[in-house]
Chain A
Amino acid sequence: MLINSWDYYSQTVDRIYWTEDTGSSPIRRRVEDRLRRQYRSDGSPDAVLPVQSVVVGDISSIPAEHLTARTIVVRPDQRGDFGRCPGTHGHLCCNYLTLNVYLGCTLGCTYCIMQSYLRNRTLEIHLPGESTITRIRDLARSNPQRTVRLGTGEVGDSLLYDPLFGISEDLVARLGDIENLRFELKTKTDFVDHLPDIGSPGAKGNTVIGFSVNPQEVIDQEEGVAASLRDRLAAARRAAERGYRLAFHFDPMIRVGPWKELYAGVAELLESFRDVRPEWISLGTLRYPTGLKNHIEARPYSVHEFVSSGDGKMRYLQPLRAEMYRFMRRRLAEVLPETPVYLCMESATVWRTVTQGFSEVLPDLRSIMQPVPIGVER
């Protein structure tokens, strides 16, 4: 179970390396101030802080023994950090735009692709540059008739390290004024209290906090040290009260024993958010690239009935997936009838069978799923 952010950092992060071109960033000063404030109430020197902050020439200067997930490397953003969600071959994409800020995650979800490649790598933080922010703003402004969806939770948790780095705070401030931009922070934590208030009486801001949800039984078994379902939902309520829009992601749904009962239970809990009308809910069943197979072989879900899909990922057999989606859509329609529900990385066949044809679902989803031309692709 996730502890408070500062205890988590002191236990899981040893050092932060800033590349030379980020060393003079105000974010570095903020991080070091926060480290001192949190860990050095007695005036002891920086050298004894549990998390060390160091500027290096470039990444190649980092000692090899520090190239682990206990190290965070901060560098400027790179070409390709902003673009379309890569989606997956042969499956319908929700046309989400992604901005890579926090790359890597240490929550330890067993099904996560990062389990297969993060073992000997550092976490990375890419500081969004002014040109990236400008590009996003221009993109949204030049498509006023569209809702542009942008999120930072594609390759890492948007809020896990944010109480320390505060990059989401900055992005909320820089992007929150654009009416047709829905900037989403996706998380499995309850770290929302550091974010600024953005609502005004009777009006929400434009930032969405998307909480990944699963039954507590699945969280306990498969989601490492992520926050409990109760804590995530409590954080969602606090965020909503401070002006944030909400979204929920049932992804990945896992066919554990009494899965219908368990997922229906989560859906029922979401009914308490009917008053804030969550912006969207996504559904995705467990899927994994074959490269992850060795890492999940000991998990109970590894014995479920997976088959290879068109994109090479293993997915539940099609009728099983369709059954899960149909079940959840019905339940969610009962508890949050006004919230659009979409499928993440699913085939056209499954979309058709789950929604009885696109006509039923498109009016709700059209505004959020239409692709936005972004110019040069990744």
Chain B
Amino acid sequence: MEQNFRCCTSNGAAPYKGYPEGLMNFHGRMVRIRFGVVNASSCCYPVSMESGSIVPGSLVVEAKMVSPGELHAALEGDDRFDIFRHTDNGGTDNGGTDSQCGPEQLMVRPPILGPAEGGTYRVVWGFRYRSFVAELAARRDSPMLPILSVVGSVDTEEMVKLALRAEDRRGRYGWDEIDRVCTVVAAGTNGIGISDSIRDALDSRHDISDLLERYRNLAPVLQDALNGESIDIRTAELIPDTLIPRWPRLETLTKDVSFSERRQILRFLADFVRAGVTSPDEIFEEQAGRTGRDALQELRRLRYPTVTDLETRLTEFRNQFTRGRGITVDFPANYEGDYLGVSFRITSDRELTRRIGELQKMEGHVDKLVGLLLSDR
């Protein structure tokens, strides 16, 4: 396993065969290594198979074995390129687990390092292994570790491409990650902007530029909420400026509710403020002591007073005349119509007689109820 491998990022035209495989001893644990799977569009292969295989003009990357200490130094160095902000537990700011940063992962998806001044390395991708590598570096008997080393100079855009290919989370990057990638690329290309290939690697289904512009227009507290996945961008955009300073109170109000319930609460509040129905402080005063679903229910009542009043009255009726009587009363969808639907199941003549008796108790109430669907009083 000490041999050098060469690797190239390719456009898919490069041959893709002959994965070197082998077993490596990691602290008594045998790990099967299968070089080459950086992702589907790049591959590793032994130098001996190189002839005629590297796509002209493509980036050349060498597979090497380095000591854990050397890799650790690169991972902890000042000249880092951690656009995904990996956390110490191996995940990213936006998720990730320990299972993604163990020895097997490192073998299959080695860190990618670019050249740095003084003959050292600059890590382009692989920060998720920081904790694991630090642990190995602290031991005397640690084995050499594989890395993919970029041969020659590499510009910012290429580094981003490499990192994105290695990260391979298309469509699942956080808002802040997309922001960082685009900022880094824009800085590296004198503001020309991101290329289609980077755009596609980030998210092939949405217009990244449009989303990013919308994200950047948000207040930082809303950006944080988006990154924490507690809110969607459309709702974030609806939050009026006057509610921003009160965000902590909003968070309290939306405690212990589902994503969808939180969205409803926030939209109701935004509606009230935007329409000038009430001030934010009045809302919070009214909602004092309420959180979660209680708050949602109350806000819905305030937002749709006629609808909720109608619902309440119709439900009261339904409970009064149908509970425990085997009769179901339905109202028209969205209360559009002038009828009630009544249904029941029967298994005998006797049951039918009983149901009819129950139905007759509704007499004298139906006109009033249908009237509710037609009148605001």
Contact = CB atoms under 8 A, between A and B. Distances in A.
**Do A and B make up one complex?**
yes
Interface of A: 294, 297-298, 300, 302-303, 305, 307-310, 317-320, 322-323, 347, 349, 352-353
A318 B336 contact: yes
Given A318-B374, A347-B336, 19 more contacts: A297-B238, A300-B275, A302-B271, A302-B275, A303-B303, A305-B304, A305-B305, A307-B307, A310-B333, A317-B335, A318-B335, A318-B336, A318-B337, A318-B373, A319-B310, A322-B374, A323-B376, A349-B337, A352-B338
List the 8 shortest-distance A-B pairs measured between CB atoms, nearest first: A307-B334, A303-B275, A303-B271, A353-B374, A319-B376, A349-B338, A323-B376, A300-B275
Contacts of B290: none
B305 A319 contact: no
B275 to A, nearest CB: 4
A310 B336 CA distance: 8
Contacts of B13: none
Contacts of A320: 306, 376
Contacts of A303: 271-272, 274-275, 277, 303
A305 B374 contact: no
A298 B238 CA distance: 8
Given A303-B271, A303-B272, A319 B306 contact: yes
Nearest to A309: B336
Contacts of A317: 306-307, 310, 334-335
Nearest to B338: A349
Nearest to B305: A305
B343 to A, nearest CB: 21
B276 interface: yes
A294 B305 CA distance: 23
A305 B272 contact: no
Question: Which one of A294, A309, A310, A349 has the greatest number of beta carbons of chain B within 10 Å?
Answer: A349
Q: How large is the interface on B (under 10, 10 to 19, 20 to 34, 35 or more residues)?
A: 20 to 34
Contacts of B238: 297
Contacts of B277: 303
Nearest to B275: A303
12 contacts: A297-B274, A298-B274, A303-B272, A303-B275, A303-B277, A307-B307, A317-B306, A319-B306, A320-B376, A322-B374, A349-B374, A353-B375
A348 to B, nearest CB: 9
B73 interface: no
Contacts of A322: 374-376
A309 to B, nearest CB: 6
A349 B274 CA distance: 33
Interface in B51-102: none
A349 B334 CA distance: 13
B243 interface: no
A353 B338 contact: yes
B375 A349 contact: no
A182 to B, nearest CB: 31
B300 to A, nearest CB: 11
Interface string B332-376: 011111100000000000000000000000000000000011111
B31 to A, nearest CB: 52
Contact of A305 (B274, B275, B306): B306
Contacts of B373: 318-319
Contacts of A300: 274-276
Question: Which one of B238, B274, B372 has the greatest number of beta carbons of chain A within 10 Å?
Answer: B274
A349 B336 CA distance: 8
A330 B102 CA distance: 78
A291 to B, nearest CB: 14
B202 to A, nearest CB: 24
Nearest to A301: B275
A302 B272 CA distance: 10
Contacts of A347: 336-337
B277 to A, nearest CB: 7
Nearest to A307: B334
Contact of B375 (A305, A323, A352): A323
B195 to A, nearest CB: 23
A298 B241 CA distance: 13
Nearest to A315: B336
Nearest to A294: B234
B374 A319 contact: yes
A287 to B, nearest CB: 12
Nearest to A353: B374
B341 to A, nearest CB: 14
Contacts of A318: 335-337, 373-374
